[in-house]
Structure 1
Amino acid sequence: MVSDFGLPTFISATELLLASAVFCLVFWVAGASKPRVPKGLKRLPGPWGWPLLGHVLTLGKNPHVALARLSRRYGDVFQIRLGSTPVVVLSGLDTIKQALVRQGDDFKGRPDLYSFSFVTKGQSMIFGSDSGPVWAARRRLAQNALNSFSVASDPASSSSCYLEEHVSQEAENLISKFQELMAAVGHFDPYRYVVMSVANVICAMCFGRRYDHDDQELLSLVNLNDEFGKVAASGSPADFFLILRYLPNPALDTFKDLNERFYSFTQERVKEHCRSFEKGHIRDITDSLIKHYRVDRLDENANVQVSDEKTVGIVLDLFGAGFDTVTTAISWSLMYLVTKPRIQRKIQEELDAVVGRARRPRFSDRPQLPYLEAVIMETFRHTSFLPFTIPHR
């Protein structure tokens, strides 16, 4: 039946049900898109986002660039949404220092993201969501192991500690390689040689051994870390869109596989150390951790037992933490020194006056090398090793 104007005077039950469903869906999307603000607090500024998607499309392929642009418009503290998950973005030195330094205990936790559960089989200190007594005990263990390695020394060596010995040896090899490459015709990219040297120092710290640069195990480890960095840098949409965890996801499968291979590599090294461990002969960080749970047994403060599995997790965290950051720091330093020959000359003059050419610099020379230290600190201040930090909770 229609009216004089040609409009229907009634609708069927199916049409009414469909219209109601659409209305409810739109209402739910609108509600889900609107972040809930606790009573008494103001809503954070931020751009408008798409229903369900949030600001995923806004961030694009270079999220750090997009977020920097948004911070210029909305300030050092603003909010976006990834899917329906609200994310607070901090930028600016004072703001970040306030959150991560002055209020570090309030922001030390990690979000419980789906992809984080695959890192070190969910046992990672860096990516794990737990920040309670167990986490604190493991963190102290890692710090103590690093400190022990930094002060322990080989009586037969002129170096002040094992760490200095490994760094000096690797620096000698890296310089020799650079001299060989510079004697040839053409140009070269120093990054690939720097990353191999950094990997060698970290292997020496964690596992007590150095590899030749053409060793296949070291090459596979460097390539594995490079793959991990590329996959991790692209992010995981499955962290924010539940349905993607159940659909075919090649990127997520690759991420799982890389973590499994890293874990297997580290687990095998820890097993080797367990078999050859000697109580009075601590060779590296892994030995220091094994000593803790075999000899010292319990952490006196948190009363937390450390197992083989947790040892693998701690070693893997220490191994991964220094890989990219140290390589990037050295690469920035080389780039600045190549483009600033005047500074390069001043550093060399200071080194010649204090150290001379007969030996390499040592940690003990640091107080007499103020200009070199100032250049290093200024490089750290002026450069950026990562586009943003791992998310905090």
Structure 2
Amino acid sequence: MGNEVFLPITELLIAFTVCCLVLMAIKTFWKPIPKGLKRVPGPRGYPLIGNMLDLGKNPHQALAKMSQKYGDVMQIHLGTRPVLVLSGLETIRQALVKQGEDFMGRPDLYSFRHISDGQSLTFGRDSGEVWRARRKLAQNGLKTFSASPSPTASTCLLEEHVSQEADALILKLQELMKEKSFDPYRWLVVSVANVICAMCFGKRYSHDDVELLSIVNMNNDFGEAAGSGNPADFIPILQYLPNRTMRAFKDLTQRFSALVLKIVREHHSSFDKDHIRDITDSLIDHCQDKVDENANVQLSDHTVVHIVGDLFGAGFGYSVTHRFLSWSLIYLV
């Protein structure tokens, strides 16, 4: 009796799931076009996965080939998400320069919502007044810090941090030169991270410091996770299924936010308006009034955390910078 009841329920669940998938596929590929407009040209994709298989291992080459057939403005589907692809210098200039305001936003990807609680300047989808106010706050913070004089030298704080780290890197490389050979890449990465930490947090670490290495590793892990893409961003139904990679990504962003929040609170406790030590101090200084007079935006500790996290990631997150420094060093040798 139990088995007879169980089988129909299972069959109903399977049928319901199949119907949902079919409806999602129909909804994705059959959208009415408003009167007077034309459908954007582009290749037809497969249900649920769209044109993912068409992109292959070299998506830039596949897209270049598609543009020859469909033109400089075409539409493909990544999963169920429609994506507009622009090719050609004039087309891209028209979009990014002449119509920059229309193309300045970010897509509302599932994984982006977990970065800085969805309030990230870099990954957040908001491009309105709140975003503009926070961008202005970040710019003012950078400007204040870069112009702040060093209390121990005749240079500005930014130049002092870079010079100190350059001296430390030279000493480290001289130490390593006693060996037959070594790869400078690791030490260049740590040095770049140290400069960014000094700029954002006013603190220089030893190259073997556990906290510094933790920050470097977290940033590398974040870059790999964000760069590899998350299928749930493009196939929404996957958001409701267990995903080990997504859990790790959420944990990573939470740990980094907790670390920055801890540093921001320490800065609040020792803040001196007449002695700006770093970007965090300059942001706190600009947040003293708590509300942006132009956009009525609440400026809290968490706002500072999100902006500092964005600035840190922007300064350190690109491995191409480290590769460039490595090749430059090898060229000089």
TM-score (norm 2): 0.85
Aligned to 2:292: 299
CA–CA distance in 2 between the matches of 1:42 and 1:292? 48
| Count of residue pairs the alignment pairs up | 316
**Worse-matched range after superposition: 201-210 or 279-288:** 279-288
Q: Give yes or no for the alignment of 1:211 onto 2:205.
A: yes
Q: Give yes or no for the alignment of 1:263 onto 2:253.
A: no
The answer as to whether partners of 1:292 and 1:298 remain within 8 angstroms in 2 is no
Coordinate RMSD, CA, aligned:
2.7
**Worse-matched range after superposition: 253-262 or 64-73:** 64-73
Q: Select which of 173, 179, 182 maps to 1:178.
A: 173
Q: Select which of 108, 122, 126 maps to 2:122.
A: 126
Structure 1, unaligned stretches of length 5 or more?
Answer: 1-21, 346-393
Q: Taking structure 1 as reference, are residues 214 and 200 closer, same or farther at Cα in structure 2, changes over 3 Å only?
A: same
Partner of 2:85: helix, strand, or coil? strand
Aligned to 2:93: 97
How far 1:252 sits from its partner (Å)? 0.9
The answer as to whether partners of 1:33 and 1:52 remain within 8 angstroms in 2 is no
Partner of 2:94: helix, strand, or coil? helix
TM-score (norm 1): 0.73
Give CA-to-partner distance per residue, 1:307-355, whole Å, 9 cap, x none: 1111111111111111123x5235225426745xxxx69xxxxxxxxxx
Q: Select which of 147, 165, 174 maps to 2:160.
A: 165
Give CA-to-partner distance per residue, 1:98-137, whole Å, 9 cap, x none: 3223222111112222111100111211111111111111
Q: Taking structure 1 as reference, are residues 293 and 337 closer, same or farther at Cα in structure 2, changes over 3 Å only?
A: closer
Aligned to 1:232: 226
The answer as to whether partners of 2:24 and 2:48 remain within 8 angstroms in 1 is no
Partner of 1:86: helix, strand, or coil? strand
Q: Taking structure 1 as reference, are residues 27 and 242 closer, same or farther at Cα in structure 2, changes over 3 Å only?
A: closer
CA–CA distance in 2 between the matches of 1:34 and 1:225? 41
Partner of 1:45: helix, strand, or coil? coil
Q: Give yes or no for the alignment of 1:285 onto 2:289.
A: no
Q: Name which one, 1 or 2, has greater alpha-carbon Rg.
A: 1
Q: Taking structure 1 as reference, are residues 333 and 103 closer, same or farther at Cα in structure 2, changes over 3 Å only?
A: farther
Residue pairs, 1:33-44, within 5 angstroms: 33-34=29-30, 36-44=32-40
CA–CA distance in 2 between the matches of 1:244 and 1:24? 13
The amino acid across from 2:180 in the alignment is V
Aligned to 2:323: 331
Q: Taking structure 1 as reference, are residues 53 and 25 closer, same or farther at Cα in structure 2, changes over 3 Å only?
A: closer
The answer as to whether partners of 1:174 and 1:197 remain within 8 angstroms in 2 is yes
Partner of 2:83: helix, strand, or coil? strand
Partner of 1:106: helix, strand, or coil? helix
The answer as to whether partners of 2:41 and 2:70 remain within 8 angstroms in 1 is yes
How far 1:305 sits from its partner (Å)? 2.8
The amino acid across from 2:157 in the alignment is Y
The answer as to whether partners of 2:189 and 2:322 remain within 8 angstroms in 1 is no
The answer as to whether partners of 1:205 and 1:284 remain within 8 angstroms in 2 is yes
The answer as to whether partners of 2:185 and 2:326 remain within 8 angstroms in 1 is no
How far 1:58 sits from its partner (Å)? 2.5
Q: Give yes or no for the alignment of 1:198 onto 2:198.
A: no
CA–CA distance in 1 between the matches of 2:314 and 2:232? 24
Partner of 1:105: helix, strand, or coil? helix
Aligned to 1:349: none
CA–CA distance in 1 between the matches of 2:79 and 2:279? 41
How far 1:39 sits from its partner (Å)? 3.1
How far 1:34 sits from its partner (Å)? 4.0
Partner of 1:89: helix, strand, or coil? strand
Give CA-to-partner distance per residue, 1:42-94, whole Å, 9 cap, x none: 33332221122201223345544543454455444321102222101224444
Structure 2, unaligned stretches of length 5 or more?
Answer: 1-17
The answer as to whether partners of 2:105 and 2:125 remain within 8 angstroms in 1 is yes
Q: Taking structure 1 as reference, are residues 28 and 162 closer, same or farther at Cα in structure 2, changes over 3 Å only?
A: closer
CA–CA distance in 1 between the matches of 2:61 and 2:166? 35
CA–CA distance in 2 between the matches of 1:319 and 1:23? 46
The answer as to whether partners of 1:206 and 1:285 remain within 8 angstroms in 2 is yes
**Worse-matched range after superposition: 97-106 or 200-209:** 97-106
The answer as to whether partners of 2:141 and 2:286 remain within 8 angstroms in 1 is no
Over the matched positions of the two proteins, sequence identity in percent amounts to 59
